[in-house]
Structure 1
Amino acid sequence: MSTDDVYALMARSQELPYGEARTVLVEDALRRAEAAGDEVLAFHVRVRLTDAYRYGGEPAKAFATFGRTLAEHDRDPARFDETHSLLWQMKAAVSSLTLFPEIPLDRAYAVLEDMERRYKAAGHSLQAVYHYRNVVARHIGDGSADEWYLKWRAAERDDLSDCEGCDPTGMARHLVEAGRYEEAFEIAAPVLSSRLSCNEQPQSIQTALLPVYLRTGRGEQAADAHRRAYRVHRARLADLSDIAEHLEFCAVTGNEARGLEILQRHLGWLDRAPSAHADMEFSAAAALVLDRVAAAGHGAAAIRRPAADGRAAADVPLPELHTELAERATALADRFDARNGTSHQGDRVRATLAAEPVAGFVPLAAHHRRPAPASVPPPVPQNDLTSVDDLGELLDLVDRRRADNDLDGMRAAWRRFDAVAETTEPTPPQKARRLDGRGVEHAVDGDGHGAVACWEEAARLFAELGDETRRHRTLGRLGALRIDLGDDGGLEQVIASAGHLAAHPGEDGDATAALLRLATAYVRFDRPADALAALDEIVPDDAPDRAGELWFLRGQALLQQGGTDEAAAALRRSIDAARTSGEPETVASPGLLLARILARREEGPDEETFALLDEVIAALPGPSPMRASAHSERGLAFLAADRPADAVADLAEAIAAWTAQGAHEQAVRLRVDLAAAYLSTGRNFEAAEVAEEALPNLDGDAGQRCRLILAHAQKGMGEEDAAATFASLAEDAARDGRHDAVAHFLDEAAGVLTALDKDAQAAERFAEAAESYEKAGDPYGLVRTRRRAAMCLFWSGDADKALTAMDTARAALAGLPPDNEPARIWETALVSYDQARILAQVGRLPEAASHASAAADGFTTLDETDAAEEATRLHADIRSALS
C-alpha cells in the first residue's frame, strides 16, 4: 500500500462535509495507513477519524479512536505528537460520555480528573476544565453547576478554551436552565454579529438563544434565529439534539405545521440517532409537536414513518406515534436518571411534554399570517324594534334596510319578524317574503346551497301567489348564485329574470339590476357581445347610482373582445363614477382591472398603474380577496419595473393574505416571485427559505424557475447545496436536449465547488460542462471549462492529470472562430498562463517559461495591463529558477 493513497484519501475527505461519506474516506485512509505499516501516519489519521466520528453523528465510535491515540501519545509523545489536538478532544470526550446511559458516570469524572492534570502539566488555563465540569453537573442537575459556572467565567481563556461562539453558547445554556434569560442575552449578544468560523457556529448560539428571545419579548429575533440555525442543523445527523430544540420552538410558538414538517423530515434519524440523549430529546420534542397538532384539530392525521431496519415505510396514526414517542423519551430519561442517581433528565422530559405556548403566535417570516382570532358576531340590535308588532311593517323595514345595505338592521328586522310570527300567523305572501329573506341571510353568511334551497322554494311560492315581479327578482338572485356555485343552468334563470323585469320594470331599479346581473353572467361565460347588448338596454338616467358598475362591466366585456384601449376608457369612467359616489370601496374593482391592463402593456407599469393600486389598497382597509389581489398586482408591478426592494412588502402581504384565506395556489405562485425579489436585493437567505417553501408544490417551468432562484441564493450564501441544485437543473435540461443550458448549469455547479475549495469535485463538473459546451457548439465555453478543470486538478494535487487536461484545453483553441481575434487571443493567453503555472510546478521550467512569455505577449496585445504584468512576473520567476 502506498502512503500517497492515504494522503489522497485524506485530501478528498477534506472536501466533504462531516457525515457518512467523509467518515468512510477517513476509515479507508486508516486501513491503508495500517496496511502500509506507517504507525505515525495511522496515528494522525486516527486523530482525524475521532473528529469525523464526533461531527458526523457517531460519537460512540470516537471513544475507541480517542482512547487509542491518547495511549499512543503517552507511550511516545515525541513520535506521536498531536498534544494540542488530543487535549482539545478531551472536552468532547467528557460531554459525549454523559450521552449514553450505559456508560457509568464515573468515567466522565475520571476523564475530567485526567483532563485537569494534563492541562495543569502543560501550563494551560483550567477555564475549559471548569466549563466541562459545569456540563456534567448540569446533566445530572447537581447544584455545583453554579459554582463551576462562576469559576468558568472567572478563569482566563486560552487556546484550549472553546471558541468565541461556543463558550458563550455554553454559558447561555447554563443561564437559560436557571431562568436567567436577560443575563443569557447579555453574554451572547456581543458575539451574535461576529463572523464565527467554528463548525458548530453560529447555529449553536442561535439555537441556544431561542428560549431567551421568546421570554424577553424578542419574537422577530427568535424567528430569524430559528430559520437560520435550523437551515444548518437540518443536514447534520450529529445535530439531532439541536433539531429537537427547534421542534420545541415551533410547538410553543404556534408553528405546529412547521414543526410537523421538521418532524417528518427527521423522524427516520431516530433509527440512527447519534446518542441515546439525542434520541430522548428529539422524541420528547416530537411528541410535543404532535400534541399541538392534535390540539389544533388535526388529531386524525397520519404521519409517514420512513423505512428502516427491514421495516417498510408506513403511515402511522398521529395519536399512536405521539404515545410511542412520549413513552420512548420517558423510558430513556428513566435510564439516565438511574445512572445519574437524580430525577433531572426525567424532569426535563416531563417539562418538554407538558410545555405550554410561549409569547403567542410568532410568525416565522413577513409572509406568514398571524392567525385571526375567531370572530364573534356583535349582538344584533333589537331594542328599536320591540314596539313594532305589524308583520307587514317589518317586511317593509327589511326592504328599506336591504336597499341601504344595512345588513345588521335587516337581520334585526327579521329577528323581530320571527318573534312576532310566533304569536301572529303570517299571510302566504309574508311567508314567501320571509323565505326569500332567509335565502339572503344564507347568502350573506356564505351558505350558498342553503340560499339556493330557500330561493327555489320562495320562487315557487311567489309563482303560486301570482307575484311575478318578486318571483323574477328571486329567480335572478337564484340563477346568479347557481352560476357562482358552478351550476351553468343558472344562466337561464338570470336570462328569464332580466327579460321579465326589463319588460315589466316594477319598482325603480328592478330592470337595471336584472340587466346588470345578466351582463355579469355573460361576462362570466365569456360572451362579451351578449354582455354589451344587455348593457345597451339600460337607460343610464334610470340608474345614475349604478353608473360605476355599468361602465365596469362594459370595460370587462370590451377587454374580452380585445379592445384594450376601449376597455381602459370604460374603466376610467367607472372609476370616475365610483369616486363621486361617496363609496370609495367601489373604486377597487375597476381600479384593479385597469391597473392590470396598464401593467401588462409592452412598456410595463407606469405611474398611473401604481397610483391606481395605491388607491385600491387604500379603499379596502380590511382583509379581502380583492385587497390580496391588489397587493399581488402592486408587488408584481414593482418587479416588472425593476424595483424588487419595493416589491417585497407587497408580495409578502399578498402571500400572507392568500394563505389566511386558504387560497394556497395563489400563495405558492407568489412565493416564487417573492423569492426572486429577495434574490435581486441580495437577501439570499430569505430567497432560499421562500423558494424552499414553494418548491414542494411546484412542477414544470414554475418549479424550474424556483430551483434556479434557490440555486443562486444558495450560491450567494456560499452553501455547497447550490452545486447540487445547479446539477439538478442540468439534469432537467439534459432530458429536454438543451445542451447549452446543461453546460451553463454544470459550469455554475463547478464554480460553486471551486469557490468552496472542493477542487477535485469541481474538476469533474467542469469536465462535464466542457462536454456539453462541445455538444452545444460553444467553442469558448469548451476552452474555458477545460482550462478550469485542469486548474482544479492542479489545486487538488493531481498535477499529471492537470497537464493532460490542459493539453485538451489547448487543443480546443483550434476550434475558436477566426472572426473574433481579440477573444481568440484572450483565451489563448489564459491557457498559456495557466499551463505555465502547472509546468513550473512539476519542474518543466523551459516549457513553462515559453508559455508564460506567450501569455504576457497576448495580454499585452489586448492592452490588458494587469494580466500582462502578472504573466511577466511569472515568466521572470521561472527564468530565475532556470538560472
Structure 2
Amino acid sequence: MSVEQAYEVLGRAGELPYGQARTIMVEEALRLAEAAADERLAYRIRHYLRNEYSQSGERAKAFAVFVRCLSDYDRNPELGEEHRLFWGFKGTVTGLTRFPEIPLVRTLAVLDDMERRYRLAGEGLQPVYMCRAVVTQHIHGAEAAEEWYTRWHAAPRTRLSDCEGCDPSSKVAYLGARGRDEDAMALAEPLLRGELGCDEQPQTILTELLPIYLRTGRLDAAVDAHRRAYRAQRDRLSELWGIAVHLEFCARTGNEARGLELLERHLGWLDRAPTPYDGMRFAAAGALLLRRLAEIGHGDVSVRRPAHGDRPAAEVLAADLRAELTREALDLAARFDARNGTPEQGRLVRDLLDAEPLVDHLPLTPYARRAPAPSPAPAPQEDFGGVDDVDRLFDLAEEHWRRREFAAALAAWRRVDAVAGDLSAVQRGRRVDGEGLERLLTGDPQGAIELWRRSAELYAQGGDEESARSATSRYASVLCQAGQAEAGLPLLESTYAWLNSHGADPRRVLAARGRLAAAYGEAGRTDDALALLDAEPAPTEPDDLGDQEMIRARVLGAAGREAELTPVLRRAVGGFRESGQRAVLAEAAFLLGRRLAASEAEEEAAEADALLTEAITNAPVDMAGLRAAAYAVRGGHLLGRGDAARAAEDLVEAVAGFTAEGSHHQAAYARQDLCVAYLETGRYLEAAETAEEALPLFTAHGDADAARRTRYLLANAQRDLGEVDAAAETFTRLAEDERADQPSAAARLLVQAGDLLSRLDKDATAAERFAAAAEASTAAGDPYGTVQALRRRALCVMWSGSAEDGLTAMAGARAALANLPGDEPAALAWETALVDFDEARILGALERFDEAIAGAERAAAAFADLDQKDPAEAAARLRADLIAARSGPADAGS
C-alpha cells in the first residue's frame, strides 16, 4: 500500500458527483492511508470523508468521523487542520438537533465545547451565535431565538463563518419563520443578483424564499424559484428537506399533479432520509399534498411506492399513503418534542398538515397558463329563440352547415326540437340529417352512415328524391373514407349521375361531384378526379369555388403532385375570403401558409406569415388543433428566419394547444422547436425543462431520431445553464448512441464532453473522453480529428497528475501525424506545430527544459510561417518562460 495510491484514489473521487460512488472511493483512500501508516494523511482524509457523508445524505456517519477527528487532534495537535476541525463543529451542532435519539444535553455540550475552543483559539464568535440561534429555534421556536439571531447578524464575519452565499440563506430561513418577509428578501437580494454564491447557492436560498414569495404575492418569482431550485436539488438525497418544501409549494399553489409527480419520484428517499427531521418534513409535506388531491376529487389515485429492503414495489392508495405519512410525521414530531421538552416541532408539523392553498392555480410554465384560445372575433350567432317556423329553422341549420358553422347549425336543430309538433317524413329526414352531422362531429362515422341512410329513406317516403340522393351521396362518401370504397364508390357515381341529369339544385350537384372526385382521388384515380372537377357546370359562387379547389388540392396531394398545389390553394383561399366562410378559410390559409413557409423567396415568406395569422384568427373554437398547428408552423418559420423571440411566443401557444387537444406527439415536436428558440434567446432553464418534457414523449412514440436531437439540445441547455457535469454526461450518452452508425458525430460529441470535464478540472475523466473521441475519429476516417483528440488527451493526462504519462500519450499524437494527408502541407504544419507546443508544455512540467525550449521554438517558427500571429506569440512566450525556469536555479545559486 502506498501514499501515492491514496492520493490517486482521492483525486479520482473528486471527479465524481456527491453520492455513494464518490463516498466509497474516499473511504478507500482512507483505508490506503491507514494501511500506509500515514497518520497525518488519514486525519486529513477523515475531514474530507465527514463532508462526503454530509453531502451524500449520511449525516449520522458524519458525526462519528467528526468525533474521531476531534479525538485525534486533542491527542496530537500537530496534526493541524484546525480550520477544517473548527468548521466541522457547525454542521455537527446543527445536525445533532435533527436526530431525536440524540439527547439534547449532548448537543448543548458540543455547542459549549465549540464556543470554548473558538475563544481559546481567538476566533470570532459569529458562527457560534449562528449555531445557538438554530438550536434555540429548533427547541423553543423562532421568537425565542431572537437574541441569538441579533448577535449573529451584528457580529463581524470570520474565516469560520458560512460563506457569503450560505450565511444569508440561513438568516432568510430565520426571518421567514418570524414573518419578516421584506427583511428576508432585502437580505437575499445580493445573492439573487449573482454577487455572491457557492455550490449550495442559489438553490438553497431560493427554496427558503418560496413561501415568502407566495405570501407576498411575488408569484412569478415563486415559479422561477421552484423551477431553478428543484432542478439543482432533485438528484441529491441530502436535499430531501428542500424536496419537502417543493411538495408543499405544489400543494398550496394548485399544482397537485406536479406535486404527485415529485412525491412518486422521491418517495423512496423517505426510507433512507438523511436525518429523521428531514424525513418528518417530507412525510408531512407529502401528506399535505395527498390531502389536497382528495379535496380536489382525486383521492382515489394510486401512488407507486418503490421497493425497500424486503418490501416489494407496490401501488398504494393515496388515502392509505396519506394516513401512513401523517402518522410518521406526527410520531417523529412527538419524539422530537419529548427529547426537547417543548411542543414546537409538533406545532410546526400540524400547521403543515393543515395548511391551506395560498393560490388557486399558479402555472409553472408559459404554456400551462394557456387554454385553447377562442377565435379572436367569433362569428355572430343567430338568436333562434324568436324563430318558430320549422322549415325556416331547417333552412337556417342547413345554411350554417354549408358554411361549416356547425355550432349554429346544431343550435337551429335544437330549436326545431323545442318548437316542432308532428313532422312530415321530409322534415324528419331533415332532422335526422342534423343528427348524422352531430355523430360525425363527435367521431362516430358509422353512426353518421346509419343516420344518413335513414334520412335518405325518409326523404324517399316523402317523395323528395333529390334530397334522398343527396343524403345517399353523403353517407357513401363516409363509407369511402372508412375504407369501404367497394360499397361507397358505386353509390357516389350513381347519385351524382342522377343529380346531374335531373336538374337538381346546382349546389347539390357540385357537392356530389366533389365527393365523387375526392373518392376517386383516394382510390388513386387521379386523372378521373381532376377531369370531374374540371367538368361543367363550373362553380359560380366563391364558396363553391373554394370547396372545389380544396378537393383538387387533396387529390393532387394524394398523387404526390406537390408542385401544382400552390395556385390551387391560392384559388381556394380567395374563394373563402370572398364568401366569408371563416372555418374553411382558416384551413385553406393554413395549408397555403405552411407551403409558402418552406419557400426561400422573401415575398413568399412574408405571405406565409400573413396566411398563418389568417388561419389563427379565423379558426373557431372547435378547430383548436388547426390553430395549434398554425402556431407551430409560424413559430418554426420565425425560428428559421432568425426571430427566435417571436417564435418562442408562437411555439408556447402551439404546445398549449396540442396538449389541451391531447395531441402529445405533436406537442413534443413543438417543444423541440421551442427548446431551440429558448436556447437562442438565452432562456436556458426553460430550454432544459422543455427538452426534458419532450424526451419521454419521443421515447414513448419510438422516434429515436427526434429523441437524439432533443438530447443534444438538452446537453447544450445544461451546458449554458451551468450544469456542466450533466451536460458532459448527456454528450457522452449521445456519443454512445451515435458511435456505431455515425462515428464522426460521436467523436464531436465526445470532444464536447471532454471540453466540459476539463473545464471542471476533471482531467482524468476528460482524458478518457478524448481517447474515445480519437478512436471514433479513426473509425470515421478523420485523421485530423484523431491527432487533435490524442493531443488534448495528453494534456489532460498531465493535468490529472502524471506528466510522464502525459508525455507518453503525446507520443501517440505525434505518431498519428504520419496519417495526415501529404497534399495539405499547411494543415500538416499547423497540427505539427500544435503538437510541438503542447509537448513543450509537458516537457517543461518534467523540467526537461532543453527539449521543451526546442519544441517551443519549432512551434513558434511554424506558426509564424503560417502567418498565425497570436499562436506564434504564445509559443514565443512559452519559450521565454521555459528559459527563465531553466536559469532559475543558477540565478538563485549566484
- Tell whether 2:820 aligns with 1:821: no
Q: Give the deviation of 1:807 after TM superposition.
A: 1.5
Over residues 825-863 of structure 1, what are the superposed CA-to-partner deviations in whole Å (9 max), with x where a residue is unaligned? Answer: 222122122222222222322222222222222222222
Any idea what SS the aligned residue of 1:304 has?
strand
Structure 2 Cα separation of the partners of residues 410 and 865 of structure 1 = 78
Aligned equivalent of 2:377: none
What code does the residue aligned with 2:629 have?
Answer: S
Structure 1 Cα separation of the partners of residues 400 and 279 of structure 2 = 65
Aligned equivalent of 1:114: 113
Structure 2 Cα separation of the partners of residues 505 and 183 of structure 1 = 85
Task: Report if the CA contact (8 A) 1:766-1:785 is conserved.
Answer: yes
What code does the residue aligned with 1:629 have?
Answer: A
Aligned equivalent of 2:500: 502
- Tell whether 2:804 aligns with 1:794: no
**Within-5 A mapping of 1:855-870:** 855-870=859-874
Aligned equivalent of 2:63: 63
Task: Report if the CA contact (8 A) 2:26-2:49 is conserved.
Answer: yes
Structure 2 Cα separation of the partners of residues 607 and 398 of structure 1 = 38
Aligned equivalent of 1:785: 789
- Tell whether 2:711 aligns with 1:713: no
What code does the residue aligned with 2:83 have?
Answer: H
The partner residue of 1:702 within 696, 699, 706 is 706
Q: Give the deviation of 1:808 after TM superposition.
A: 1.4
Aligned equivalent of 2:236: 236
Change (3 A) 1:416 1:685: closer
Aligned equivalent of 2:48: 48
Q: Give the deviation of 1:160 after TM superposition.
A: 2.7
* Mean CA deviation greater in 786-795 or 836-845: 836-845
Aligned equivalent of 2:680: 680
Change (3 A) 1:542 1:867: closer
- Gaps of at least 5 residues in structure 1 are none
The partner residue of 1:765 within 766, 769, 772 is 769
Structure 1 Cα separation of the partners of residues 407 and 560 of structure 2 = 42
Structure 1 Cα separation of the partners of residues 439 and 341 of structure 2 = 65
Structure 1 Cα separation of the partners of residues 411 and 852 of structure 2 = 96
Structure 1 Cα separation of the partners of residues 371 and 320 of structure 2 = 28
Aligned equivalent of 1:155: 155
Task: Report if the CA contact (8 A) 1:515-1:538 is conserved.
Answer: no
Task: Report if the CA contact (8 A) 2:569-2:592 is conserved.
Answer: yes
Structure 1 Cα separation of the partners of residues 798 and 284 of structure 2 = 50
What code does the residue aligned with 2:685 have?
Answer: F
Structure 1 Cα separation of the partners of residues 313 and 754 of structure 2 = 36
What code does the residue aligned with 1:800 have?
Answer: E
Task: Report if the CA contact (8 A) 1:127-1:157 is conserved.
Answer: yes
Q: Give the deviation of 1:774 after TM superposition.
A: 2.3
Over residues 163-216 of structure 1, what are the superposed CA-to-partner deviations in whole Å (9 max), with x where a residue is unaligned? Answer: 232222223222333444344323322320115442211111111222222233
Task: Report if the CA contact (8 A) 2:372-2:624 is conserved.
Answer: no
Task: Report if the CA contact (8 A) 1:248-1:288 is conserved.
Answer: yes
Structure 2 Cα separation of the partners of residues 141 and 520 of structure 1 = 80
Over residues 657-685 of structure 1, what are the superposed CA-to-partner deviations in whole Å (9 max), with x where a residue is unaligned? Answer: 11111111100122122222323344333
Count of equivalent residues: 874
The partner residue of 2:838 within 834, 839, 861 is 834
Task: Report if the CA contact (8 A) 2:426-2:459 is conserved.
Answer: yes
What code does the residue aligned with 1:711 have?
Answer: A
Structure 1 Cα separation of the partners of residues 558 and 433 of structure 2 = 34
Structure 1 Cα separation of the partners of residues 381 and 344 of structure 2 = 52
Aligned equivalent of 1:84: 83
Structure 1 Cα separation of the partners of residues 342 and 536 of structure 2 = 86
TM-score, structure 2 as length reference: 0.90
Q: Give the deviation of 1:50 after TM superposition.
A: 1.0
Any idea what SS the aligned residue of 2:458 has?
helix
Change (3 A) 1:528 1:130: farther
Change (3 A) 1:726 1:472: same
Aligned equivalent of 1:730: 735
Structure 2 Cα separation of the partners of residues 347 and 804 of structure 1 = 66
Aligned equivalent of 1:184: 184
**Within-5 A mapping of 1:440-839:** 440-442=437-439, 451=448, 454-479=451-476, 497-504=495-502, 506-507=504-505, 509-520=507-518, 528-537=526-535, 539-583=537-581, 586-601=584-599, 606-620=605-619, 624-698=624-698, 699-718=703-722, 719-736=724-741, 738-839=742-843
Structure 1 Cα separation of the partners of residues 396 and 734 of structure 2 = 66
Task: Report if the CA contact (8 A) 2:53-2:62 is conserved.
Answer: yes
What code does the residue aligned with 2:640 have?
Answer: A
* Mean CA deviation greater in 260-269 or 832-841: 260-269
Over residues 741-792 of structure 1, what are the superposed CA-to-partner deviations in whole Å (9 max), with x where a residue is unaligned? Answer: 3322222221111111100111111122222222322222222111111111
Task: Report if the CA contact (8 A) 2:543-2:578 is conserved.
Answer: no
Q: Give the deviation of 1:44 after TM superposition.
A: 1.3
Q: Give the deviation of 1:333 after TM superposition.
A: 2.8
- Tell whether 2:853 aligns with 1:849: yes
Task: Report if the CA contact (8 A) 2:372-2:656 is conserved.
Answer: no
Task: Report if the CA contact (8 A) 2:6-2:30 is conserved.
Answer: yes
Over residues 244-266 of structure 1, what are the superposed CA-to-partner deviations in whole Å (9 max), with x where a residue is unaligned? Answer: 22222223333333333333332
What code does the residue aligned with 1:588 have?
Answer: A
The partner residue of 2:877 within 862, 873, 880 is 873
TM-score, structure 1 as length reference: 0.91
Task: Report if the CA contact (8 A) 2:190-2:196 is conserved.
Answer: no
Q: Give the deviation of 1:564 after TM superposition.
A: 4.0
Task: Report if the CA contact (8 A) 2:191-2:197 is conserved.
Answer: no
Over residues 208-259 of structure 1, what are the superposed CA-to-partner deviations in whole Å (9 max), with x where a residue is unaligned? Answer: 2222222333322222222221111112111111112222222333333333
Q: Give the deviation of 1:49 after TM superposition.
A: 1.1
Structure 2 Cα separation of the partners of residues 439 and 138 of structure 1 = 71
Q: Give the deviation of 1:628 after TM superposition.
A: 0.9
Structure 1 Cα separation of the partners of residues 399 and 771 of structure 2 = 80
Aligned equivalent of 1:363: 363
Task: Report if the CA contact (8 A) 2:788-2:813 is conserved.
Answer: yes
Aligned equivalent of 1:172: 172
Structure 1 Cα separation of the partners of residues 444 and 184 of structure 2 = 53
What code does the residue aligned with 1:763 have?
Answer: A
Task: Report if the CA contact (8 A) 1:380-1:408 is conserved.
Answer: no
Structure 1 Cα separation of the partners of residues 72 and 285 of structure 2 = 41
Structure 1 Cα separation of the partners of residues 336 and 826 of structure 2 = 73
Structure 1 Cα separation of the partners of residues 179 and 528 of structure 2 = 72
Task: Report if the CA contact (8 A) 1:369-1:660 is conserved.
Answer: no
Q: Give the deviation of 1:591 after TM superposition.
A: 1.7
Q: Give the deviation of 1:586 after TM superposition.
A: 4.3
* Mean CA deviation greater in 603-612 or 649-658: 603-612
Q: Give the deviation of 1:455 after TM superposition.
A: 3.7
Change (3 A) 1:851 1:392: closer
Change (3 A) 1:93 1:523: farther
Structure 1 Cα separation of the partners of residues 539 and 780 of structure 2 = 68
* Mean CA deviation greater in 490-499 or 191-200: 490-499
* Mean CA deviation greater in 286-295 or 153-162: 286-295
Structure 2 Cα separation of the partners of residues 779 and 328 of structure 1 = 63
Over residues 589-630 of structure 1, what are the superposed CA-to-partner deviations in whole Å (9 max), with x where a residue is unaligned? Answer: 222111222233466962222232233333347572121111
- Gaps of at least 5 residues in structure 2 are 375-379
Change (3 A) 1:95 1:460: farther
Task: State the Cα RMSD in Å.
Answer: 3.3
